Chain A
Amino acid sequence: MTVTILDFNDVTVSFMARRGKTKKPINAADHVTFSVRKGEIFGLVGESGSGKSTLARLAVGLNSAASGSVVFDGMVLANGKRPRPLRRRIQMVFQDPFSSLDPRMTVRQQLMEVLKVHDAIPAGERAAHCEKIFAQVELPISLLDARPSQMSGGQRQRVAIARALLLSPELLVADEPVSALDVSVQAGIVQLFADLRSQLGVSIFFIAHDLAVVRHLCDRVAVMYMGKIVEEATTDQLFSNPRHPYTRALLDSIPRLLPDAHEQVVAPEGEPPSLSRLPSGCRFRSRCPNATEKCVSEEPSLIAVTSTEANSSHLASCHYANDLEVYVGRNRTS
């Protein structure tokens, strides 16, 4: 039995959307169930508005669930402000290191403040601890006295990661931590997450829209569309044998670094619907090339994909997940 560290059980997160004079709740996350296992890097992928950040913020207590429960290490997490000892165990890295750091404080001040507030370490040992964590994220000690404005985007994101690691959390929630960075430094940050997991054994809940990054970093992946998980599998399974048409559309849409790529631009039709005006049945049916009558009338639930691999848990919420033809990536031909 695998041990989980974070479980979302049938979680719904609602926001009130105003349209004219009427207010109507919309579900940014709609009856979502999945688990992050201890020591793994779990990727949650989706486009903007799919609800992935909503779930990340829910994990650290920045959102409230309308129904369902979030369980951390066996404890049900209540909505609202959490006790400090609990906050220490779940830490977050935000997307934009330009706005998540205080521009008027030196890096050292920001790190020391965290240790002071949480009082997790005796005052005399705090400075040494900061330096240790700084080395862990591969930053030169000289930068401890710099302000964020004197640092590059990659360096700032390392500071943000250092700040999250100060309290030795068991779970790191990373909300698109590399998407604001230049390509040449992005790879280093992705590698850092991989190294931190293997060195510290910290579990990582990694939110991303870039499937290529997820493929390199994560052990398991869930794909979200319009507030629902549409597919969940190990990284290998998801990329080699995607069973939901939306996952396939995402994979096909990614521009490839190939010499003759312009001859094969593949794009799915249509745009995501509005959360306040979802199509009946399957939410993806308005863009799905395989949609049938059944997809209009009946909303699919996550079903197990019959896979050749034993002991696998590959789920997809498509009526035809087991009937789709074998996936041939658009660039696998050559």
Chain B
Amino acid sequence: MTTLSSSTGPLLQVENLCIDVTLVGGKKTVPAVRNVSFQVEAGEAVGLVGESGSGKSLTLRTILGILPNGVRATSGRVLFEGVDLLKAPKRTVNRLRGTGITMIFQEPMTSLNPIAKVGEQIVDAARAKHSWSKSEAGEHALSLARHMGIPDPENTLSLYPHELSGGLRQRVMIAAALACQPKLVLCDEPTTALDVTIQAQIIRLLVQLKDELGMSMLYVTHDLAVVAQLCQRLEVMYAGSIVESGLVRDVFRQPDHPYTQGLARATPDVDAVVDQLTGIRGNAPTLGNWPHGCAFHPRCDYATDECRTGNFPLRETSTGRASACIHIDRLHESMAKEGSR
């Protein structure tokens, strides 16, 4: 296998990615992702955070080349170990699926085959890339299942997906995804459909797997708190663009974008009570109806006339951090005032 890869450079580098969506009826095409750039280093976990319609899931799907019909990456590059996946021949991309990049989906019930035993599905995933015999792959599946904390694996692997609980199904999905030792795992809200105690178990499992196997993770979610548990860095998306980027630790101490601040404030804190829960006023813009200028300006407390027109690319605010907001000083000032009260 040819790898242009180098010891230098990130494992995954997305550059100026733009994605268009053709609306129902096929007449109108609107942007869904605009000039998105970010990278994932080897061994790193990056959170891609945004609400519904922000373009986070489409960005994730582009990487694996599994965009739905009517959705197309129009420009930009997706470099995995130096290979541009948007331009690479299908064969190359196919070879990378499973061994290089893999994906864990939100709803294991719709991603697993309902009429195949779950053990077979892990075996199939392993045999797709390795020239293993059935029994070798079976051994591998069993050891994977043990590793995933699946209780009584010999018995559980001979069951069908509908016979398993949501948490177990998700463990099976993760086992199948990791069957070929991928370098990068894409996660599309894998815990959103789970109960909170099971979510905590799956998060703990992912943290542990990441540390043990040294794999990289790109984790899409709407939940900032889940990112806090799993990721070192995060990228915040709003209306198809990244509006803030930085280390989780830094961003949570002091956000550099009013949207990130609003999102953190809107998340109710279970350890403290506030007099009034503040959401972000208005509603997130829908596809095709993005405001001009900074897309967040109609909902922003700091917006000025300047925000209504023009482009607001990410700009470095301090080492390793970037924000698309031009009013960071005022944002920080008001946060400092609140903090001192």
Contact = CB atoms under 8 A, between A and B. Distances in A.
Interface of A: 47-48, 152-155, 182-188, 190-191, 209-213, 215-216, 239, 249-262, 265-268, 271-272, 329, 331-332
B278 interface: yes
A271 B269 CA distance: 25
Contacts of B266: 183-184, 186-187
B228 A265 contact: no
Interface residues of B, number: 49
Given A185-B279, A255-B229, A265 B207 contact: yes
A47 to B, nearest CB: 4
Nearest to A187: B279
Given A182-B51, A255-B223, A261-B225, A211 B270 contact: yes
Given A183-B263, A184-B279, A216-B274, A253 B269 contact: no
A213 B278 CA distance: 12
A271 B194 CA distance: 11
A251 B270 contact: yes
Contacts of B207: 262, 265
Nearest to A258: B228
B268 A154 contact: no
Contacts, number: 138
B1 interface: no
A182 B284 contact: yes
A153 B283 CA distance: 9
B279 A209 contact: no
Contacts of B167: 271
A213 B199 contact: no
B270 to A, nearest CB: 4
A334 B168 CA distance: 34
Given A257-B252, A258-B252, A259-B253, A184 B280 contact: yes
Given A183-B51, A216-B277, A257-B225, A267 B201 contact: yes
A267 B263 CA distance: 25
A209 B196 contact: yes
A187 B269 CA distance: 11
B87 interface: no
B262 to A, nearest CB: 6
A260 to B, nearest CB: 7
Given A249-B197, A255-B203, A331-B271, A184 B249 contact: no
A47 B195 contact: yes
B52 A182 contact: yes
B143 to A, nearest CB: 21
B229 A261 contact: yes
A267 B277 CA distance: 27
B335 to A, nearest CB: 15
Given A191-B277, A212-B269, A216-B268, 12 more contacts: A182-B52, A186-B279, A215-B273, A254-B196, A256-B270, A257-B228, A258-B228, A259-B253, A261-B225, A267-B200, A271-B198, A332-B271
Most chain B Cβ neighbours within 10 Å, of A213, A251, A260, A262: A262
B286 interface: yes
A184 to B, nearest CB: 4
Most chain B Cβ neighbours within 10 Å, of A184, A186, A252: A184
Nearest to B230: A262
Contacts of B201: 267-268
A182 B230 CA distance: 21
